[in-house]
Amino acid sequence: MNFYLYLDKKTPIHRLDPRTKLFLLISSFIVATIQQHPIFALIVAMPIFAHGVLSGSLRNIRRIIGLLVAIGILAALLWSIQAKGVTPLFWKFQVEPLLYGISTGIKIDSMIVAGIIFLSTTKNEEVAIGLVKLGLPYSFSFAFCTALRLAPTIMGTARMVAQAQKSRGLDLQGGGLLSRMKKYIPLLVPIFLTTLRYTNQLSMALESKGFRAMEKRTFLLEARFKARDYWITLGLLLVLALVIFIRIKGYGEIEGLLL
């Protein structure tokens, strides 16, 4: 079973400097969240989706399309119940909360998609180099990208443990709140202990391969800001400035929405 998202392709997005990709991700998040109106949310969702197409990440997005739809609809429903508006639609529903709900659904989906694209186009090692180039110490960057790498592995371990304990009759459903919480103990403990063993083995393997033997290490992958990185960064800055400007001017709000 493959839990890793990275797709080995040679698209222009893959070839960007990791810092640019990180900036792309963060910009996507900011742009996606800043406006209230679903029209704006949709407008923002489109370039994010285009980014996905351009970077060949559709395969990973398709894998979770059902989840995205479910999350979108659920979020739209729940957030529209929470808010209040002024224009009645039918029965207890009002226009503004519904718009707000739809926009929130789109925003949450956009953010998830942006995250998936980043992980589909960026190797863990690139994340590490990116962080080092941004001035963070290598040990920290290594821990960060190893964690990124390990998280899906641990989800895999969790699945195995769940299978093993279910085979021994563990039933997560049913029971009161406290007893249901306690049922996580037979699940969590083997996951943790397996991981702790791994800690010792990985530490030994790392030391044996000269981890931190030198003051500074080198990298096989190069990370250099090239012309296209500058252009994209510049473009993103302009987009961000524009979006923030529009927001400050008061556009993109749903009038009459009460939170």
Q: How far apart are CA 228 and CA 17, in angstroms?
A: 9
Q: Which is nearer to other proteins, 40 or 142 (CB)?
A: 142
Q: Which is nearer to other proteins, 109 or 229 (CB)?
A: 109
To other proteins, the closest distance from the beta carbon of 235 in angstroms equals 20
Interface with other proteins, residue 11, by CB under 8 A: no
Q: How far apart are CA 3 and CA 28, in angstroms?
A: 24
To other proteins, the closest distance from the beta carbon of 64 in angstroms equals 10
Q: Select the residue interacting with other proteins from 12, 50, 219, 251 (CB under 8 A).
A: 219
Interface with other proteins, residue 79, by CB under 8 A: yes
- Which range binds other proteins by CB under 8 A, 39-47, 119-127, 223-231, 240-248? 119-127
Q: What is the DSSP string of 174-227?
A: SS-HHHHHHTTHHHHHHHHHHHHHHHHHHHHHHHHTTTT-SSS---SS-----H
Interface with other proteins, residue 26, by CB under 8 A: yes
Q: Select the residue interacting with other proteins from 11, 47, 49, 194 (CB under 8 A).
A: 194
Q: How far apart are CA 27 and CA 118, in angstroms?
A: 12
Site string for other proteins, 121-140 (x = CB under 8 A): --xxx-----------x-xx
Q: How far out from the chain centre does Cα 171 lie?
A: 31
How many residues touch other proteins (CB under 8 A)? 99
Question: Which is nearest to 148 in space by CA: 16, 22, 51?
Answer: 22
- Which range binds other proteins by CB under 8 A, 50-58, 155-163, 226-234, 236-244? 155-163
Q: How far apart are CA 160 and CA 247, in angstroms?
A: 48
To other proteins, the closest distance from the beta carbon of 22 in angstroms equals 10
Q: Which parts of 196-215 interact with other proteins (CB under 8 A)?
A: 196-214
Q: Which residues contact 70 (CB under 8 A, 6 or more apart)?
A: none
Q: How far apart are CA 142 and CA 197, in angstroms?
A: 19
